[in-house]
Amino acid sequence: MNANPSRQHPADMDESAQLMSRTARDLPPGRHQFHKERLMAQIHDMRQSDDRTATPAPGKRARRPRLPRLAIALPAMAAVVAGVIVTASVLNNGGGGSGPATGPALTTDLGTASADGAPQLLDQISLAAASGTPHPRVGLGQFIYIESKTATTFVKTVDGRSSLASHPLHTRQSWMSADGTKGWLIDPAVNDTPEGETLSLPDEQGNPYKAGLNGPSYDYLTKLTTDPDQLLAKIYKETAGQGNSPDQQAFSTIGDLLSESYPPAELYPALFKTAAKIPGVVVVNDAVDAAGRPGVAVARLDETSGAREEWIFDKKTHAFLGERNVQVKQMKEEGVVIKPGTVNYTSAIITRAVVDHMKQTPSSSS
């Protein structure tokens, strides 16, 4: 996972940094915040086949900081990766960006991962999801509101020297219409101004929105099959060629739906039953989300990046708390050693609700 360093005014950026500013909103939700190791691995995959398109690993459809993986051509992705580094360099040489400051790399205890009990835990989580508080339906003109706490670790380059840095924990707010064509994002790690920026489509280039697993709308999710075998087959088919492996991409795709959307009540428990069918899924008994809440994690190790993607649940209620990406195997990125225990990305869901207006919050809707 990599973070998008705070951006300064476009007039003060060099050409690459300006490209980053323009391209950031064309990345899937928050994927431009994900660890660059995953981005670089996908670029490598794309270089192996001219016919292949890829999407940033974590990422959450164009222009949404995290989730749907809208297919992005190699030049755009390469520019984004380069832009992340250039922007960090510009800002840390007195650029005067208004986003969050940087600190040391985030770290955690790795915990013990075990394949024993993973299917049983996911079955319990699925049952809790089916019997718990039902997810409200999103009506015409309404918006899904998600408030979360997030933090990222990334490689920062200043005067030709690279080191690990992090954005501190901060609040992120997003709104998205049921049909996926209207939205808004407020995230100091990616927005130029405190007011945030639009996620509405078509974008500046006139690109239309077509819902799919890489960029699902709520309306699209209501039409997905709830049969685990059929759903997993669809995920494998529609994400073929993406990510570092078919199984890891399937796991990440489901993780995106859990963290950056509001799955319909019928689909929500089916997602966990589907995840149980993916090879390599393990349990990490001790995990902590970005808000400091302890829980148990359902996880999978990406052998290519050496990072483990974790979905964190409350140990008693099995409610979904958040997710994080933790480095398990030592890797090198731009000459910088990423040690085991480095938290590449962490997020905690604070509020998820349906509101009647863009930029409305549940507290202001009464």
What's the token pair of residue 306?
Answer: 């050496």
Contacts with 75 (C-beta within 8 Å, 6 or more apart), sequence order: none
Strand runs (DSSP E) across 82-142, as ranges? 113-114
Angle of helix 74-90 relative to helix 36-47, nearest 10 degrees, comes to 150
The pTM (predicted TM-score) of the whole model is 0.75
Tell the residue number behind the tokens 């995959």, with chain if given: 45
Question: Helices 268-275 & 228-238, crossing angle to 10 degrees?
Answer: 70
Given this model, what pLDDT does residue 167 score?
Answer: 85
Q: Go through the chain and tell me how many residues it has.
A: 366
Q: For position 189, what pLDDT does the model report? A: 86
- Residue 109 has a pLDDT of 92
CB atoms within 10 A of CB 75: 8
Q: Are strands 331-333 and 320-327 parallel, antiparallel or unpaired?
A: unpaired
Taking CA 66 as the corner, what is the angle to CA 249 and CA 250, rounded to the nearest 5 degrees?
A: 15
Residues 193, 194, 196: CA angle, nearest 5 degrees = 75
pLDDT, averaged per 10 consecutive residues of the chain (366 residues), comes to: 30 34 35 35 31 33 28 28 31 38 88 94 96 88 96 91 91 95 92 90 77 91 97 96 95 94 95 98 96 97 96 97 97 91 96 96 76
What is the pLDDT at residue 164? 93
What is Dmax (Cα atoms) for the chain? 55
Cross-strand partners of 312: 297, 322
pLDDT of residue 102: 81
Confidence at residue 363, expressed as pLDDT on a 0 to 100 scale: 82
DSSP state letters, 142-176: -EEEEEEEEEEEEEEEETTEEEEEEEEEEEEEEEE
> How far apart (Å, rounded) are the C-alpha atoms in residues 197 and 167?
19
Is 221 in contact with 261 (CB distance < 8 Å)? yes
> Two tokens at 37?
């190791």
Yes or no: say if 344 and 1 are a contact pair by the CB < 8 Å rule.
Answer: yes
